Amino acid sequence: MSEVSIKGNQQYKDRLFIFLFGKRERREWTLELYNAINGTDYKDASAIEINTLENLLYVRTHNDVSFILDGGLSIFEHQSSPSPNMPLRMLEYLVGLYDKYCAKNGYNSTQYSRIPLPVPRFVVFSNWEGESDDESVMRLSDMFMRPGMEPDMDLKVRVINVNAGHSNDIMTRCRPLLDYSTFVESVRSHRRSGLELGDAVDRAIEELSGDSPIRRILMGNRTEVKGMIATEYDEKKVSELFYRDGRNVGHKDILKLNSILLKEKRYDDLEKASVNEEYLNQLLKQYGLI
Domain membership of residue 195 (yes or no) is no
Q: Model pTM greater than 0.75?
A: yes
**Residue from 255, 267, 230 nearest 59 by CA:** 255
11-46 pLDDT tens trace:
445 689 999 999 999 999 999 999 999 999 999 999
Name the CA radius of gyration of the chain, rounded.
20
**Residue from 132, 140, 127, 10 nearest 63 by CA:** 127
Quick one: pLDDT at residue 80? 82
Domain membership of residue 254 (yes or no) is no
Domain membership of residue 161 (yes or no) is yes
Beta pairing, strands 61-62 & 49-50: unpaired
Residues with Cβ within 8 Å of 165's Cβ and at least 6 positions away in sequence, in order, are none
Total domain count for the chain?
1
Question: Residues of the chain whose pLDDT is less than 70?
Answer: 1-14, 54-62, 233-252, 255, 262, 267, 271, 274-275
Domain membership of residue 223 (yes or no) is no
Domain membership of residue 190 (yes or no) is no
30 with 22: CB under 8 angstroms? yes
What is the length of the chain?
A: 290
Q: Domain span at residue 113?
A: 1-169
